[in-house]
A and B are shown apart, each in its own frame.
Chain A
Amino acid sequence: MTLFPIQISIPSIPRPVKPTGLWSWLTTIDHKRIGILYGVTAFILFLSGGIEATLMRLQLSGPELDLVSAEVYNQLFTMHGTTMIFLAIMPMGAAFFNFIIPLQIGARDVAFPRLNAFSYWTFLAGAIMLKLSWIGGATNAGWFGYAPLTSVSQNPGTGIDFWIISLQILGVASLAAAFNFIVTIINMRAPGMHMMRLPVFIWMSFITAILLVLAFPVITVALIELTLDRYYDFNFFNVANGGSVVLWQHLFWVFGHPEVYILILPAMGIVSEVLPVFSRKPLFGYSTIVLAGAIIAFMGWMVWSHHMFTVGLGPAANAIFTITTMLIAVPTGIKVFNWLATIWGGSIKLNTPMLFSLGFIAMFLIGGISGVMHAVSASDAQQQDTYFIPAHIHYAVFGGAIMALMSGVHYWFQKTTGKMFGEILGKFHFWTLMLGQNLTFFPMHFVGLEGMPRRIYTYAEGMGWDLWNGVSTFGVFILIISFLAFMLNVIKSWKSGPIAPADPWDARTLEWSIPSPAPEYNFSEIPQVKALDDWWVTKQENPDIEVPDALENHSIHLPQPSYWPFVTALGILIAAYGVVFNDLLVPYLIAGIGTLVTFIGVYSWSLEPVNDPDEHTSH
């Protein structure tokens, strides 16, 4: 009776069964393992960005040094910015999203476990692409890649092409992750976990994911336009044919400013988790903090031109963007006051997570205040492109985001590894970090206001900048000691730290109601949530409650490992490498092979059986 009397059988490879060793990591779709992969990879890339920064600081430690050439210096600051933003802080945030979100909302995994693995492997592909560009000259047009610095005539090498392609790949990774977390947070909450019972970290992750979803397409379009200009002589940013270089700036910053909040909102979420636990008080003004986060995300779209005050957009535009930029400080200020009110009157325990969170408030406040200073377009005209701006962004992103992420590492380390994190080395890490970053970044305010331009590879003697540049460079060495101590602490604690109890901090949220380290299945029974800070309330009602030990053998049905996310990402990496060298035959072949691998990955992925047919766990 059918119109097409065919029955086709499509071959599909069964899923890997209980892989071990390297295979278990390549095929894992467990959100906790992916979180660890993200965290470790991002930290290594953070170190690479740190090395780039150290080289720059050494070059600037005194006047007229020639440790690196001007060309290499340009590559260093471009790679440093791109690395820290896209390869270090964003994926460190993603590490926390992965590890914490399912645990805090009472779920067994994310909504799309394989997509989650795909996000990680694609991120890694993008990172490899960017770092590969050091061979043969890295990108050198700044992390913002202003036109016409990126045009073929100005920049004929492959550095820019590597940069474009790697940002596109990283965009795919971020978008896939953001879709996944949006659906996870909306759709996989434990019963009773209303939206207004979500921990603040979940709220901030949710808002960050929405920002990612809306901001990344804009940079994707800008990069497509740039690619077409470079590869096929289109006219988007070609002034000779009427193109406008300012259009690039608009597109870039429409993405770029929400991106700043993508970096800082997860950090604010972490701090909002840590402060109440170590003040032993509920978070002050939960709904206000959530709402302030949402307002920041909304207003984050109305301030982009404050990066362009000196372009000459006219007094009306400058006035409007001055006002919106100053207004966006208000919800941020609300959060700071909420945090202070949370600590106020609490019985404060100064453990390492708390120290980092307090340090975050102090440092981020300095960054916020200098931000309001150049929100005024008239004052910004003096500060634009001076060291005052790096001082500001490092207080916001290093003193802000990195401090909060470190707070998160110290706070959740026990849940990740099942070991206590060394407090002594942790405190040493904290104090050297505070000292080092202030020595490094605070003098930049001075030399900035004295007129030292940023992105110069050297400066003449007698400008009055020598002392403070020397101090800045000295601070870097303290930072290096600080992070060496941190790495030592991680290795030592992970290998031989004391066994961590399930709830070492007497904390408030669901992830502490399960054993440490978090078992594969997360929750043996999905919790029934009755209140905000449910675990705290449970402990108050039933002080003798104990967290059951992890089950040795369990029959809890979990999503199975898969080869295809890795294969798909590998295909993308191969194709991208071919695309960069687009004018030769062999690269075209490489790109073709990569595309083929990607297609095989995608189709096998979508046809992959849900369960291993030999197993009888399926319903």
Chain B
Amino acid sequence: MAQSEIKDTDHVSDVEHEVTSTGLNHRKMLMWAFLGSDCMFFGALIATYLVYKGKSLSGPQPIDVFDIPVTSVSTFVLLMSSMSMVLAYSALTKNNMKVFRIWMISTAIKGATFVGFQVYEFASFSKHHVHVECNESHEMTTFETEVFEAECKPGIDSFSGEYGLKPQTNLFGTTFYTLTGLHGAHVTLGVVWLLSLLLLSFKKGVITKEKNVDIDLAALYWHFVDVVWIVIFTVVYLFGVFPFS
């Protein structure tokens, strides 16, 4: 049987540059498989959201609570974080550790900013207030929901009512918080990962121009989470306020 001479290090994992059948790195292939799996994860969540879209029996609807300009800003921040991730990786491959670290921190800060926006958004949605005006026959003029009907009493011209969206409020709350919350969890995990790698890069020889797979993997993950947000922003936020669905 013809057999080939092999080196000791062949077919042993944990080694950065192992010989593989395809020439592709093991861990990178695993990451792609994981992202495929994560596609199904978000696919199932988005499917749930769409199945229940417009099916809420009561409570605030997307158009009542969404603040598109604010979310656009956080979306922009997240998209820019993908760019700084690319710049970080690029700096690493040019062996410029200083610039690499700057962009890594920048990416993590942008990710954290996005999560911060989300926390703010969740808090403000859950305490959403509406200003309601009453007319002379004690009916509401500016807000047509029946939630506050009893509040328009003689002597009250207008009042501010709480019309918050909590996960328990209706199907929109349930599906919205679950979908965006789990995306936020992905971003948070990404931030922890980036910061861990940043810390690790101070250890000599762990992350170098040649040993860049760790950064490559984190970048893949980061871009994926970013792409998922583009879908969520479009399907949940934009389709939620524009009346064509």
Contacts and interface: CB of A to CB of B under 8 A. Distances in A.
Interface majority SS on A: helix, strand, loop or mixed?
Answer: loop
Interface stretch (B16-24, B132-140, B236-244): B16-24
Interface of A: 1-4, 6-10, 107-114, 175, 178-180, 182-183, 186-189, 191, 193, 213-218, 220-222, 224-225, 228, 232-236, 241-244, 247, 251, 254, 513, 525-528, 530, 538, 542, 545, 555-559, 603, 607, 610, 617, 619
Contact of B200 (A10, A109, A215, A528): A10
24 contacts: A3-B98, A7-B203, A7-B204, A9-B203, A182-B30, A183-B26, A187-B29, A188-B21, A220-B44, A221-B44, A233-B168, A235-B168, A241-B170, A241-B174, A243-B174, A251-B48, A513-B1, A526-B4, A526-B10, A530-B2, A538-B1, A542-B1, A545-B1, A617-B8
A185 to B, nearest CB: 9
Contact of A183 (B29, B44, B57): B29
Contacts, number: 177
Interface stretch (B31-39, B112-120, B142-150, B220-228): B31-39
B3 interface: yes
Contacts of B102: 3
A58 B202 CA distance: 66
B56 interface: yes
Given A111-B26, A526-B11, A183 B33 contact: yes
A242 B56 contact: yes
Given A538-B1, A557-B8, A7 B51 contact: no
Given A4-B101, A108-B11, A218-B44, A242 B4 contact: no
Q: Which of B13, B15, B55, B167 has the most CB of A within 10 A?
A: B13
A235 B196 CA distance: 37
Contact of B203 (A10, A189, A556): A10
A236 B178 CA distance: 10
B171 A1 contact: no
B76 interface: no
Interface residues on B, range: 35 or more
Contact of A222 (B4, B44, B168, B200): B44
List of 10 A-B pairs having minimum Cβ-Cβ separation, nearest first: A217-B41, A221-B44, A217-B40, A187-B20, A235-B174, A557-B8, A189-B21, A242-B57, A525-B3, A234-B174
Q: Which of A10, A188, A528, A542 has the most CB of B within 10 A?
A: A188
A213 B26 contact: no
A244 B40 contact: no
A610 B174 contact: no
B189 to A, nearest CB: 11
Contacts of A234: 167-168, 174, 178
A213 B39 CA distance: 10
Nearest to B44: A221
Contacts of A254: 44
Contact of A235 (B30, B44, B101, B171): B171
Contacts of B170: 235, 241-242
Nearest to B6: A526
A420 to B, nearest CB: 25
A558 B12 CA distance: 6
B9 interface: yes
Given A2-B98, A528-B3, 18 more contacts: A10-B203, A109-B11, A111-B26, A182-B29, A186-B24, A188-B21, A213-B33, A213-B37, A225-B48, A225-B178, A235-B173, A251-B48, A526-B11, A530-B2, A545-B1, A556-B8, A557-B12, A559-B12
Contact of B44 (A2, A251, A556): A251
B52 interface: yes
A243 B178 CA distance: 14
B207 interface: no
A521 B174 CA distance: 53
B203 A8 contact: yes
Nearest to A537: B1
B87 interface: no
B21 A217 contact: no
A109 B15 CA distance: 13
A559 B51 CA distance: 48
Contacts of B40: 213-215, 217-218
B60 to A, nearest CB: 14
A254 B51 CA distance: 15
Nearest to B177: A234
B46 to A, nearest CB: 10
Contact of A175 (B11, B37, B51, B200): B37
A610 B14 contact: yes
B130 interface: no
Contact of A232 (B3, B168, B199, B203): B168
A111 B10 CA distance: 11
Contacts of B182: 224
Interface in B170-210: 170-171, 173-175, 178, 182, 196, 199-200, 202-204
B202 A526 contact: no
Contact of B48 (A2, A232, A247): A247
A536 to B, nearest CB: 12
B97 interface: yes
Contacts of A555: 8
Contact of A527 (B1, B7, B196): B1
Contacts of A187: 20-22, 24, 26, 29
Given A112-B30, A619-B8, A559 B13 contact: yes
Interface in B151-177: 167-168, 170-171, 173-175
